[in-house]
Chains A and B, each alone.
Chain A
C-alpha cells in the first residue's frame, strides 16, 4: 500500500547520474565474505554429508567375522584370518536391533575379545576400556590390536556388565567383524560444522559490509 503523499526518489544520492557521490562497493570485503561463506557452506555440507547421509559400512572391509558368545553360552569358533603385513586391526560388534543407547553401550562394554597370533602371543581387550567407541550404524568398536604378519585368530564373548536389566541382551549371540586399520575418527564433520557456522556468519557480515561500501566523490567521466 503506497503512501499517496510521498514521491519516492530512490537512492537518488548515489544512483543519480549527476550526483557528486557514488557508492563504491568494498571489493575486498565482498571477496573475503564470499570466501568465508563458501568455506562455511562447505563445512556445513560436509557435516550433513558425513552425519546425515548413510556412511560406508565397515563390514565391507572386514577380513574376518565370527560370533560373540553369549553370557552363559559355550565359546564360539574363532575368526581366522591371515595378516599380510603387520598392522592395526579393529574389532566391531553388531548391536543390531538395540535402540536404547544405554543398552547398546552395555553390550559393547561387556564384549571381551582375545587375538592370538602365530608367535603364540595373545592380546586381550574389552569394549569397556577402549576410551571411546566409534559407532557406525548398528556397528560399534570393541577395541583395536596390533598384529604381526601371519595367521591370527580372534574370539569374543560377553562378560557380565551393567545393570540386571541388560543381562538378557548379553545372553544373545552377536556377530563381530575384524577390519584392517584403526576406525575412522568421526570428529572431522563436527570440526567442519563448528568452523563452518562462524565462517558463514562472518562471511555474511563481510558481504554486508562490502555491499554497503563507502561513499566517494564521483570521478569526472
Chain B
C-alpha cells in the first residue's frame, strides 16, 4: 500500500468509520473499547439532538408569537424556518459531514457580517406585488394604492359579517390647547352627541404635525378622528358633551407587583359601568396623548417622544356634577378586563414596520406587502367589518400609543437618523393644508360589549388573519403587562430620597414647559405605585 492509498484509507475511515473487515480484525479488548467509544458518541449525539430539538421548539414558539407571519414576518423578524438541520439529520452525521456543515454555517455568518455589518433589515428585494401602474407621479401612486386597496377589499369579501354598519372616519383639525373643547363642540354640531349609538369611538390621531417645530402642541394642529356609522350629516344638537379625564398619575386602581397593569379602555368601561352608562350611551374612550420633543442631555439633542398621560371618557351629559368623578376609589377593574366586554388590542406597529417603515413619509407605494392594510384606519375597518361590531356596542375604537415611546430611535426606522431639513414630505391635514407629519400610532384598540355573534365574528377574523393577512396582530401588544416594582425599590432609604431630589431638580431644569409633561410620566398608569 503506497502513501496515497494510506491517506485515502485514513480519510475514508474518518468520514465513514472503520469498515466491517477492519472491525473483524480487532481483538476482543480492542472491540470492547471501540464499542464503548461508539456508545459515548451515540450519547453525545443524542444530547446534541435533544438540545437542537429544544432550540427548534423555542424558535417555533417565538415564530408563533410574532404578530406577522408570511413574507412580511420573514422580512421584519427574519426567517421563520427552523435553524439548521433536523435533529435526526444531525444525529446521523459523520464527523466529516458535521465539519462541512459547521463550516458552511460559519461561512454564511461571515458573509452576512461582511455584507451587513450593522445587521440592518433591508426591504425585500422584489416587491410582493409589482407596480401595476408606473409610479412616477402622485396621481400614479394614488392609482396604484387604489388598485392594491381594491384587491384587499375583494380578498376580505368571504370573511365579512352579514350585517355590518357603515364605518366613517371624520377627521377634525383642532389646536392642541383647546382640542377637547373642539372635539366636544364638533360632536354637538355634527349631531353625533345625540346619537351615541352611531359612534364607534374617537381618538386623537397619534401623529405629530409639523414635527420639526418640536415644542408644545398647544398652538399646533392636532387631529382627532371620530369613527361613526352616520354616512349622511345629522341635525346639529344642543346636547352638551361630558368629557371626564382620568389622570394616569393618579392611583385609582389597586394592583400588586406582578398583577396585570391597567388598560385605559378597561378602566373607562369600569367607570362607565359604575355610573350605569352602557356603550349605546358612550361616545368614546380616548387616551390623552402628547407628542413633542424633549431636550436630552447638555449637548442640545432632542428626542421626539409620545406619551400617554391619561384618558378621556366622552359621553352625552348635562351640566352639573360629573358622576364619574364621584366614583369611590379604588375603582374595581378586573384583571382580565370588565366582564361581558371584549377589549381587542391589535399590533398596528408591526404592520407599520412592513408597510410604512418611514413614519415621516407617506406609507410605501407600491406596498411591499399589499395584502396588509396600509393605514391603521383600514385595519379598524377590516376588524369592524369582519367581526360585525355594531357602534351601539362600542365603548372605544382608536389608533393610539402606550406608555412612552422615543419615536425617532425606533430601530426599524429606515434610513437611520431623520434629517428634518431634507427628509419628510408634506401630507394633507384635516384642514386641507399640507404639512409634514410623523406617524406614531402603534396600537389599534377596540372595546365593545360582547355578544355570541361577535364570538363567531372573531373566529372569522382569526381565519381572515391566518389566511389573508398572514398575521396574529394580537401578539406583541404588551397589553396588561405585569406591574413592575417601582424603579427605586430596593435602594436604601437615604439614597432613594437623594435620587428623588435629583429627579425633582432635573424636572425643574428641564427646558421650557416640558417639565409639566414629564411630571406625568409614571411606570404604570392608574395603578402606580403598586399596593403592598
Contact = CB atoms under 8 A, between A and B. Distances in A.
Interface stretch (B142-150, B263-271, B485-493): B142-150
Interface in B218-233: 218-219, 225
Contacts, number: 101
Nearest to B181: A215
Interface string A1-40: 1111111111111101011110100000000000000000
A208 interface: yes
A11 B174 contact: yes
Contact of B170 (A2, A7, A19, A21): A7
A20 B185 contact: yes
Q: Which of A4, A5, A9, A18 has the most CB of B within 10 A?
A: A5
B177 to A, nearest CB: 6
A19 B432 CA distance: 19
A82 B174 CA distance: 75
A164 B172 CA distance: 75
A9 B218 contact: no
Contacts of B432: 8, 10
Interface string B416-443: 0000000000011111100000000000
Please tell me the size bucket of the interface on B. Answer: 35 or more
A10 B431 contact: yes
Contacts of B190: 9, 12
A91 B225 CA distance: 74
A172 interface: no
Interface string B155-182: 0000000000000111111110110011
A176 B177 CA distance: 64
Contacts of B381: 5
Given A6-B225, A11-B173, A1 B427 contact: yes
Contacts of B174: 11, 13
A160 interface: no
A1 B365 contact: yes
B363 A1 contact: yes
Contacts of A5: 169, 375, 377-378, 381
Nearest to B189: A19
A45 B413 CA distance: 42
B186 interface: yes
A14 B430 CA distance: 13
Contact of A1 (B141, B149, B182): B141
B428 A21 contact: no
Contacts of A8: 171, 173, 428-432
B138 interface: yes
B362 interface: yes
B236 interface: yes
Contacts of A212: 175, 177-178, 218-219
Interface in B185-236: 185-186, 188-190, 218-219, 225, 236
Nearest to A214: B178
Given A1-B365, A8-B431, A16 B142 contact: no
B355 interface: no
Interface string A168-193: 00000000000000000000000000
A1 B362 CA distance: 6
Contacts of A6: 169-171, 225, 377, 430
A211 interface: yes
Contact of B189 (A1, A18, A214): A18
Given A12-B190, A19-B189, A7 B171 contact: yes
| Chain B binding surface SS class | mixed
Contacts of A9: 170-173, 186, 190, 430
A21 B219 contact: no
Nearest to B379: A5
Contacts of B142: 1-2
Nearest to B216: A208
Contact of A4 (B145, B362, B430): B145
Contacts of B149: 4
Given A9-B170, A212-B175, A215-B178, A3 B185 contact: no
B308 interface: no
B352 to A, nearest CB: 14
B63 interface: no
B212 to A, nearest CB: 15
Contacts of A18: 189, 236
Interface in B117-152: 138, 141-142, 145-146, 149
B171 A1 contact: no
A217 to B, nearest CB: 10
A14 B221 CA distance: 13
A79 to B, nearest CB: 53
B218 A12 contact: no
Contacts of B362: 1
Interface in A109-163: none
B219 A11 contact: no
B428 A13 contact: no
A20 B218 CA distance: 22
B313 interface: no
Given A7-B168, A9-B430, A18-B189, 15 more contacts: A2-B428, A7-B169, A8-B429, A8-B430, A8-B432, A9-B173, A9-B190, A10-B173, A10-B432, A13-B172, A13-B174, A19-B189, A20-B238, A215-B178, A215-B181
Interface of B: 138, 141-142, 145-146, 149, 168-175, 177-178, 181-183, 185-186, 188-190, 218-219, 225, 236, 238, 362-363, 365, 375, 377-378, 381, 427-432
6 contacts: A6-B171, A7-B171, A13-B172, A18-B236, A20-B189, A212-B177
Interface of A: 1-14, 16, 18-21, 23, 208-209, 211-212, 214-215
The 9 closest A-B pairs by CB, nearest first: A1-B362, A13-B182, A5-B377, A13-B185, A8-B430, A208-B219, A13-B186, A21-B185, A6-B169
